[in-house]
Structure 1
Amino acid sequence: MDQPSSDRGLVWVCARNAAPYVERCVRSLAAQQDAAFDVLFVDDASSDDTAGLAERALAASLPGRHRVVRSPEQRGKARHAFELLRGATGYTWIAVVDGDDALIDPDALHAIARAYQDGFDVVWTDFETDTGVADGNGPLDPFDSPRRQGWASSHLFSFRQLLIQRVPDSYFKDESGAWLDCACDMAIAYPVLDQTRRYLFLPRAAYRYTTTNPLSHHAGHGGLSSPRQRERAEWVRSQAPLPCWRPVHEHRPSMDHGLGVKLHQMHVSTAQCFARLDALERQVAQMPFRQLALERLVQREHIPLAWLVQLGGWALDVGMLNHLADTLDGYRQPRVLEFGSGRGSRVLGKLVAARGGTLTSVEHDADWAASTAAAIRAHALGDHARVVHCPLVEASCFGHTTRFYDMGFLSPDERFDVVVVDGPPEATGLFARLPALPAIAGHLSLQGFHLYLDDFDREQEQMIARWWLEMAPELRAESLVFDKMVCELTPRT
């Protein structure tokens, strides 16, 4: 590569055994318009011809603007970042691209470069997956710690080079001092984000993320991250943030962008308030039907009235439980899985027990799980219902990272006829229920099933259902209105 100028960028591509994808990646870089950048391609000891393909493609497409590093041993993305990027002092900014991915917006790097000219320190874009799912990233609030806001800056992530110079090697290592072998994107991003609040999110799908690569850490885990990936991600999150030395208030464009983020959050909160008012109107309209449902559950299903009176808030409501009773009648000894336990769990357990079925209720809060389990035992439902304490773990699904139940307790041959998704709670993370369908896709009954996504009044749940339908067009969805809205998903045939 020629000697870089002070405002030039560096696109860092790291790859291992990415031969089927690497030429596409290079072509996407060469297609970038009006952007001054070089490419540093690191081959992490591939056993295929990744390095050779990259060298030939770069020589043809970006002559004189690239360097290929062939690592003699597998070192991992975190170690390469520490050893190579900290020394790239001739560049203003660095953008991270994986060798099996590609840029899809020819103006992406030009837009990123303009943002650095305007004084921003960290810039990222939105993305889509190779299966067509979009909208995975979003802005960060510059008035709060990035570690408290969820993982919203993945994939085409870029940063001012001077920030990575100040990151100690310990942030790229695990608790034993070994270099991280996964969760490396988080390990690179979080200590960079810690140091500044001058963020810019570009709401454009500029990056295509390959989820179908069989060597991905999602492969074989139903779309979720591997257990090792989740464990290392938790370790990265747990590290103390580096001091912030570039605050937002000293940079007017960042202040303007941050205030825009705040205004958007206020708009969303206002919209949610109106949605709650609409829900109250629906509840009033549903009162006659609620009374009929209440009578049916008490008289025909022999549910104690005291149980039903206590329902509300986060619990399954009476109308939903009445509908579930009808659904359960369609299955012989129905097998039911419930995400998120609560007061409604014992009612659901009694409905299932009356039909000779089984209920598995999953709960992440240990105290709440113990309380629900005690209620199940106290009412002699233990032969038909169980509560499983499942801590939340890192889960990457459809290109979006959140936290979901650790489903490792399920045996491979377990199947469910009815699934109720009423957890994790919204407060545990953005799109917290998104991993539910891929997590149990292999455990759904082959003879047909019903899946219910609760809290369908909320925008997040509506987006989750839309993504699910994009990924599984063989499903159909129907909105049901009770005290709250519920989305019912069933096979089309």
Structure 2
Amino acid sequence: MDRSPLLVFTTGRNCAAYVEDNIRSIARQTLANAHVLFVDDASDDGTDRLAQAALQRWLPGRHHFVRNPERMGKAHNASVHLRALAPGYEAVAVVDADDLLIDITVLEQLVRAYQQGEDVVWTNYLSDQGRFGENGPLNRYVPPRQQPWLSSHLFSFRAALLARVPHGHFQYPDGRWLDAACDLAIAYPMLDQTRRWRYLPVRAYCYTESNPGSHHRLAGEAQSLSSPRQRECARIVLAKRPLPRIDEPEADGLHATPAVPAPAEAAASPWTAARLALAVPALLRELPASTLEALDPELLWDWWQWLDTHRGARVLALGDDAHTQALALLVQAADGEALALRGGDGPGHAPWTDVAFDAHHTRLPALDGLGGALFDAVHLAPNAWDGPRAPVVALAALAPQLRLDQPRLVFAGLHPARLDAVAAQIAALVPELPARAAGAGADALVVEACAAPAEATG
């Protein structure tokens, strides 16, 4: 069956003040054959009338309109109304009825990514109050539920994924439809099923945080963009059983592009975690359980062994994830100094900059703000890159910031199958810096002037 390339799923309640601009922002997209499913959730302010008029005016023949006779919520609307229509489309983009698309090419960019074989694609956003979103890339080798929430607006997914999601993933344990954290309820089952993810680093979506009907406004928590009910529902969503992967070659029913299977996840020894907690009690004291569960004790123990023999070291952390937070506590326990630098456009972020070496290139956070500061070690988190993860390029770019007597670099979140090739590249360029695999999943590369780290004393 020939499918249309993209369906925009739009739903909301009492959005009369926003709905015409919402629909107009979709209609002005450069993708001329996008369709819209608009679900009015029993509005009583005339949203349904305004939406139908706007759809007929700007998207004639390219829309479906549904009105719920009673309030059901976004989770219900996705699981019932969207599920019924999705099989006729290649991909689905989620746009709330009070929000806007602000990049007129973004739907075309999404379609191009799906044509290239991706299964889940998202962008960044800003709010109508000038707040910058903090979306970013996910680590393909860490389960999505163990990573920070970096894939909100604009979120999209291959339509075939929805058919594999049970209704229960959109519901409370007692069978009622979730009425908050619905973006998470939609996103995580899609992310579970595949690692063909792509983050588009464009601010393509305007989130209307000023809507008085938003959960955070109703709860009086306008600054957090969250509410107690949203946080409760988020915990319920994250506790759902992850859906099985479908992007292995033998199970791939979405498209013909073969996938490289992700490496099997190796479990860290509980004794390593215990030794680490004993050496650095601040980890248990300062970090929440959700962050602790996302940590790789083997990688952190590797760090602690080095830090304990290089007390007072200055460590630069590029990117931001659970390990970056834990590393800061390890550095502090070793009487050192840690500095974190995250790439992005928002306040407190360093702008992305192009870096290249030989025929390789990528994008890293700009280092200009560091001035002449020198560091003993650098940790690059999986989201330290805005491009290909190219350790050779990063090594060249970071060299001016490193003390050259015994430098250490740790590249986290690499594909284990690439480590030998990357280590060989580095050895050919800098023979005095041997490289080795680290971490429970052997997905980190440690490059350091010394041999294997000495045994810790703490």
Tell me if the contact between 1:182 and 1:229 (Cα under 8 Å) persists in the aligned partners: yes
2:41 matches 1:159: no
Instruction: Count residues in correspondence.
Output: 295
Q: In 2, are the aligned partners of 1:200 and 1:254 still within 8 Å (CA)?
A: no
Alpha-carbon deviation of 1:314? 9.3
Distance 1:68 1:171 in 2: 25
Consecutive unaligned residues of structure 2, counting only runs of 5 or more, are 263-278, 292-319, 327-336, 350-369, 376-458
Contact 1:22 1:50 in 2 (8 A): yes
Q: Indicate which of 31, 37, 43 corresponds to 1:40.
A: 37
Aligned to 1:228: 229
How far apart are the structure 2 equivalents of 1:174 and 1:70? Answer: 23
What is residue 81 of structure 1 aligned with on the other side? Answer: 78
C-alpha separation between the residues in 2 aligned to 1:66 and 1:182?
26
Of 140, 143, 146 in structure 2, the residue corresponding to residue 142 of structure 1 is 140
Residue in 2 aligned with 1:240?
241
Q: Which of 1 and 2 has greater Rg?
A: 1
Identity of aligned residues (%): 46
C-alpha contact (below 8 Å) 1:167/1:191 kept by paired residues: yes
> Kindly tell me: are residues 392 and 211 of structure 1, through their superposed partners in 2, closer, same or farther at Cα, counting changes over 3 Å?
farther
Q: 4-13 vs 124-133, which deviates more?
A: 4-13
Contact (CA 8 Å) 2:157, 2:190: kept in 1 or not? yes
Give the deviation of 1:215 after TM superposition. 1.0
Q: Which residue of 1 aligns with 2:339?
A: 457
Match of 1:14 in 2: 11
Distance between the aligned counterparts of 2:97 and 2:147, measured in 1?
28
Residue in structure 1 matched with residue 437 of structure 2 by the alignment: none
Shift of 1:77: 0.5
Residues 217 and 229 of structure 1 are in contact (CA less than 8 Å); yes or no, is this contact kept in structure 2? yes
**2-structure distance, mates of 1:128, 1:192:** 23
Instruction: Map 1:259-278 onto structure 2 (within 5 A).
Output: none
State the Cα deviation string for residues 446-476 of structure 1 (Å, max 9, x = none): xxxxxxxxx8831259988548xxxxxxxxx
Say which SS state the counterpart of residue 216 (structure 2) adopts: coil
Give deviations 1:349-390, integer Å, cap 9, x for gaps.
xxxxxxxxxxxxxxxx9x749xxxxxxxxxxxxxxxxxxxx9
Instruction: Report if the CA contact (8 A) 2:162-2:190 is conserved.
Output: yes
The alpha-carbon distance between structure 1 residues 161 and 429, as it changes in their structure 2 partners (threshold 3 A), is: farther
Task: Indicate the residue corresponding to 2:333 in structure 1.
Answer: none
Residues 56 and 82 of structure 1: CA distance in aligned 2, closer, same or farther (over 3 Å): same
For residue 323 of structure 1, what is the aligned residue in structure 2?
A: none
Q: Is the 8 A contact 1:140 1:149 kept in 2?
A: yes
Structure 2 counterpart of 1:23: 20
* C-alpha spacing 1:187/1:25, structure 2 compared with 1 (3 Å): same
Residues 97 and 427 (structure 1 numbering): CA distance in 2 closer, same or farther, change over 3 Å? closer
Structure 1: tracts of 5 or more residues without a match: 259-312, 316-341, 343-364, 370-389, 395-425, 433-454, 468-478, 485-493
CA deviation map 1:230-262 (0-9, x unaligned): 01101101111010011499887987xx9xxxx
**Residues 79, 172 of structure 1: 8 Å contact kept:** yes
Counterpart of 1:198 in structure 2 is 196
**1:120-163 Cα deviation digits (max 9, x unpaired):** 11111111111223242111122221111111110211111110
| SS of residue paired to 1:53 | helix
Letter in 2 for 1:54: A
Is residue 37–residue 65 contact of structure 1 (8 Å, CA) maintained in 2?
A: yes
Matched residue, 1:172: 170
- Cα 1:462–1:10 shift into 2, 3 Å: closer
Q: Is contact 2:75-2:178 (8 Å) kept? A: yes
| Residue identity matched to 2:240 | Q
Give the structure-2-normalised TM-score. 0.57
Instruction: Give the letter for the 1:176 counterpart.
Output: D
